[in-house]
Structure 1
Amino acid sequence: MYIRGRGKIGYLTCERSQPSVTDPQYNMWDTENFMVMTWMVNSMEDDISSNYMYYTTAKELWDRVKEMYSNLGNKSQIYELTINAREIQQGSDNVTKYFHTLKQVWQDLNYFNNYKWNSATNAKHHQQTVEEGKIFQFLARLNVELDEVCERIIGRAILLPIGEVFAEVRRKKTRRAVMMEKGKT
């Protein structure tokens, strides 16, 4: 994100290819190339970064790092994330922490999504099915005291989007906490 935010992503994608040493733009390219490489190496742990200090271009460095550490296509990573998502439950966490923990795993799984759809209708249907699965997964692992709100959400003819489901559960939990506190006083 930092490299893209600085407008230097072209150094990793070869959109900013290395000009000839005699080109008047070479010094600027060289400076920016090493700046990107520095950002990348400085973002690594010390024991890893020392192995990447001697590449001459940011693209070359990026390709070697991607080759070593990219999990795209790694079925064992997808399997591990799927297991993690199934094991996450609210437990002692508040609803917000529980939801965002789940959401992070879902985002990691989405990273591996490489579906190619023949039609927009199929893609939309798939997205709705995945969203419903996330809603059911979120609701299923909430603590028992939220069963009432889960039943109300599931009982609707059309399910709300996942963000609205989370907001409704969070509001119910907050109201419940306020009412319990009120009952003590």
Structure 2
Amino acid sequence: MRIDSRNKARYLTGEAKKPPPKDPNYTIWVTENYKVKSWLIDSMDPLLMQRFIRLSTAKEIWEVVAKTFYDGSNETCLFELNQKFFSTTQNGRPLSTYYNELVDIFQEIDHRMTSQEETVERVVQLHSAMARL
């Protein structure tokens, strides 16, 4: 959200192409690329930073992180949310706090499920993933 809200998502998608070094916009591109890189790196756990900090562009970091941590489905995330739902207890907290935590979990599950329902294949994949949970 931080990157897109600052109109810098094009550095992740590759839409913002690196100009040649003699181009007057080269310095601006380098500065903006470093800014987006720093936002990505700063959002990571220090142990993860080491794996990605040496990549030269924000787009490279984005692509390597996606390949490393996203398998094309939300199955693992849905499983973890399901586990979290079943293990969440009130534990002496106010009912409203407990309720809000459960609502947050359900909203995340709904978001993960609806974002996958783009094609018939995705619906079948989602159905089989939910059956395994």
Give yes or no for TM over 0.5. Answer: yes
Q: Corresponding residue for 1:116?
A: 118
Q: Hey, what's the Cα distance between the residues in 2 that align with 1:67 and 1:82?
A: 24
Q: Corresponding residue for 1:3?
A: 3
Q: Corresponding residue for 2:20?
A: 20
Seen in structure 2, the aligned counterparts of structure 1 residues 109 and 33 have a Cα distance that, compared at 3 Å, is same
Runs of 5+ consecutive residues of structure 2 not aligned to the other structure: 121-133
Offset from partner CA, 1:92-124 (integer Å, 9 cap, x none): 221221122112222332342211389xxxxxx
- 4+ residue stretches of structure 1 with deviation over 6 A? none
Q: Hey, what's the Cα distance between the residues in 1 that align with 2:74 and 2:118?
A: 18
Number of aligned residue pairs:
118
Instruction: Give 1:89 shift.
Output: 4.0
Higher RCO, 1 or 2 (CA under 8 Å, sep at least 6)?
A: 2
Aligned pairs for 1:65-104 (under 5 A) are 65-70=65-70, 73-104=73-104
Q: Hey, what's the Cα distance between the residues in 2 that align with 1:72 and 1:99?
A: 31
Q: Hey, what's the Cα distance between the residues in 2 that align with 1:79 and 1:117?
A: 21
- Which has the higher Rg, Structure 1 or Structure 2? 1
Instruction: Give 1:78 shift.
Output: 1.5
Q: Report SS of the residue matched to 2:54.
A: coil
Q: Is the 8 A contact 1:71 1:77 kept in 2?
A: no
Q: Hey, what's the Cα distance between the residues in 1 that align with 2:81 and 2:19?
A: 42
Seen in structure 2, the aligned counterparts of structure 1 residues 14 and 46 have a Cα distance that, compared at 3 Å, is same
Runs of 5+ consecutive residues of structure 1 not aligned to the other structure: 119-185
Greater displacement, 54-63 / 6-15: 6-15
CA RMSD, 1 decimal = 2.3
Q: Is the 8 A contact 1:52 1:61 kept in 2?
A: yes
Q: Report the identity percentage.
A: 28
Q: Corresponding residue for 1:42?
A: 42
Q: Hey, what's the Cα distance between the residues in 1 that align with 2:96 and 2:119?
A: 33
Q: Is the 8 A contact 1:11 1:33 kept in 2?
A: yes
Q: Report SS of the residue matched to 1:90.
A: coil
Instruction: Give 1:51 shift.
Output: 1.2
**TM-score when normalising by structure 1:** 0.55
Q: Corresponding residue for 1:138?
A: none
